Amino acid sequence: MPLIKEERIYIILLAGSGITRDVACIFNAMHRDQVSHNTVAKLDMKFKRTGSVTDASKQVWKVKEAIDEGTSTQVLVAMTRSPKNGIRRLSSYGNQSKECHAHFAR
């Protein structure tokens, strides 16, 4: 069962003062849901990396940036010549995703 936010915070507070195996033992003695020392270690690393104990949204859409400036210039030229072309057609120019071309279309 996934840990609730308060339990994650409690683990982080415990992790600041001990070894992950000890933190897991203390947490398991006080809570119904059992955690392993690996869970404690991963949560601690995640907190140190992101500063948060919450899960990242699974529906994060990132716009990929154009790697090749020449290709992005070709796409912009193609869009100005025939703005009615769809994103799929424009994505045939180069090796870029539809999201990248949608970014240029804005």
Q: Is residue 57 part of a domain?
A: no
CB-CB contact of 71 with 47 (8 Å): no
Q: Is residue 101 part of a domain?
A: no
Domains held by the chain: number: 2
Q: 51 phi and psi, to 5 degrees?
A: 80, 15
Q: Is residue 83 part of a domain?
A: yes
Q: Is residue 105 part of a domain?
A: no
Same domain, 45 and 70: no
Mean pLDDT of 22-40: 90
**Confidence label for 35 from pLDDT (cuts 50, 70 and 90):** very high
Q: Is residue 69 part of a domain?
A: yes
Same domain, 38 and 68: no
**Which range of residues forms the domain containing residue 77?**
63-94
Q: Is residue 82 part of a domain?
A: yes
Mean pLDDT of 13-24: 86
pLDDT in tens, 64-105: 554 556 666 766 676 666 666 665 665 665 555 555 545 555
Specify the pTM: 0.50
